[in-house]
Structure 1
């Protein structure tokens, strides 16, 4: 079981030092949350990831460009993989999103993970000048374009949202054929996007009990699409782990990676990271 850790809830001022410690301890991956903009009325927006149904963040929360921040972390780390959780790819032209992750991939030596999602905050899409209702189709097309830009010499594309001819997009990624793309989201449409267009799925926070229906549906969709599990990775956010014995239960559900949050606030977060690593048997990477 691969074990990643999220930077969500931590003050951005400590992200780099926290990442360096996670890398030294042997965590497999590091995950950064992402939004383009928050709005004053977002507190009234429906949010699928909390029991209250309301967003867990304040509109004045600090936001940074996730691939840029991860590129800075890449310079300070050696082995830990670097993922977005999740990047709103559809809010950018695919030239911009694909270039951002290509750069992160290059600077990290192929450690980038492209976690993408359609998003939940309607006012964010309105503020950016995009239609919220069509965000899923826009994301699907952006993913398709990005994969072509990363793998083909010259790209012509004529779609619903993007139209261009003769695009050269160099260099090609370090990670071949391209950085892994994991689709986020809990709806059937999001899971279908993961199966049809992406290299895996990344969930919102779950317990073993709450994750099972989503995982059952995901396995059904994989079978229906004739998709091999060998080429598809399942990542679940498991922020409420009962103990090391739970890892085997996640594995039995077909999960390849869990993302943990072994802290409740910035103060003491590094100590929580160390305690979790010791309890769950995470070992420092081999040197040399």
Structure 2
């Protein structure tokens, strides 16, 4: 079971700590945006990796991650150091999630460049390559289209070898090829409570894995979808997504109440599926 903490509620961190370590969640995730998402873009939002570090220091069992970090916010050399630091603070419980990013409202607000989808996917691929090398190799030189490193070192290395890296992309030509080549797992999302076209994308991902010589079964597949209003509907949705081939289910509550997280936790014993279930609250 995964949960993503509602960031504006830092004052309830004691309750969150109890939930995260005591309830049967597998992972807890924060999102990484500059301003709130949705129709109303105003309101409080804390910086994702700072919150993640605080969670790492105040929990002891649950795994932690970002769902997801847009690669345009931080140079991969800095990002590699941040992730390794949180992996050490947590004692080896970090899951790194990245995506191509692209939020026109936030990007314009912060003066970030407006990039084409192709450029963003190119940066995603280069970031994934640089991160893995900095986490695993003693010294890295890299000459990409968007990033350059010369004899770069990133020590200490993460506790986990390899450090799990999730990549979010539904781009059927380039983005999903990067997932097949670079990722521990694929992340996607829907506002529906049934797989729909995502079942087809799973097959596309299988073909990319086969094309790069990877066994498709070695790639985890995570999907985020809204937590239905009733337990029966939630259980049916979980069963449908699991049957489609998703290994990790990310339930997104419609509200930001802790009781909703507790309700989701109560469903775990009723699920007749393998893999993990995640609860996400913006």
TM over 0.5, shorter chain: yes
Partner SS, residue 109 of structure 1: coil
Question: Unaligned stretches of 5+ in structure 1?
Answer: 39-54, 284-288
Partner of 1:11: 8
Q: 1:180: Cα distance to partner? A: 1.1
Flag the 1:129–1:274 CA change in 2: closer, same or farther, 3 A. closer
Q: Any conservation in 2 of the 1:122–1:132 contact (CA below 8 Å)?
A: no
Partner of 1:27: 25
Question: Unaligned stretches of 5+ in structure 2?
Answer: 272-282
Partner SS, residue 243 of structure 1: helix
Partner of 1:286: none
Partner SS, residue 138 of structure 2: coil
Flag the 1:123–1:218 CA change in 2: closer, same or farther, 3 A. same
Partner of 2:266: 278
Q: Any conservation in 2 of the 1:26–1:282 contact (CA below 8 Å)?
A: no
From 140, 143, 157, the equivalent of 1:158 is 143
Q: 1:207: Cα distance to partner? A: 2.7
Partner of 2:182: 197
Partner of 1:235: 222
Partner of 1:207: 193
Flag the 1:35–1:103 CA change in 2: closer, same or farther, 3 A. same
TM-score by length of 1: 0.81
Partner of 2:120: 135
Q: 1:86: Cα distance to partner? A: 0.9
From 146, 155, 159, the equivalent of 1:174 is 159
Flag the 1:19–1:184 CA change in 2: closer, same or farther, 3 A. farther
**CA distance in structure 2 between the aligned counterparts of 1:85 and 1:99, rounded to whole angstroms:** 18
Q: Any conservation in 2 of the 1:182–1:198 contact (CA below 8 Å)?
A: yes
TM-score by length of 2: 0.82
In the alignment of these two chains, the number of paired residues is 260
Q: Any conservation in 2 of the 1:201–1:235 contact (CA below 8 Å)?
A: yes
Alignment of 1:47-58 (within 5 A): 56-58=38-40
Flag the 1:199–1:240 CA change in 2: closer, same or farther, 3 A. same
Q: Any conservation in 1 of the 2:80–2:154 contact (CA below 8 Å)?
A: no
Flag the 1:201–1:259 CA change in 2: closer, same or farther, 3 A. same
Partner SS, residue 16 of structure 2: helix
**CA distance in structure 2 between the aligned counterparts of 1:181 and 1:150, rounded to whole angstroms:** 11
Alignment of 1:38-187 (within 5 A): 56-126=38-108, 127-133=110-116, 134-177=119-162, 179-187=163-171
Q: Any conservation in 2 of the 1:201–1:234 contact (CA below 8 Å)?
A: yes
Flag the 1:164–1:191 CA change in 2: closer, same or farther, 3 A. closer
Q: 1:13: Cα distance to partner? A: 2.8
**Is it true that 1:252 corresponds to 2:243 in the alignment?**
yes
Quote the RMSD (CA, aligned, Å). Answer: 2.4
CA deviations over 1:73-107 (Å, ceiling 9, x no partner): 11221221111111012331111111111111111
CA deviations over 1:191-249 (Å, ceiling 9, x no partner): 22211221111111343232322223222322333222343111111324523354443
**CA distance in structure 2 between the aligned counterparts of 1:61 and 1:95, rounded to whole angstroms:** 31
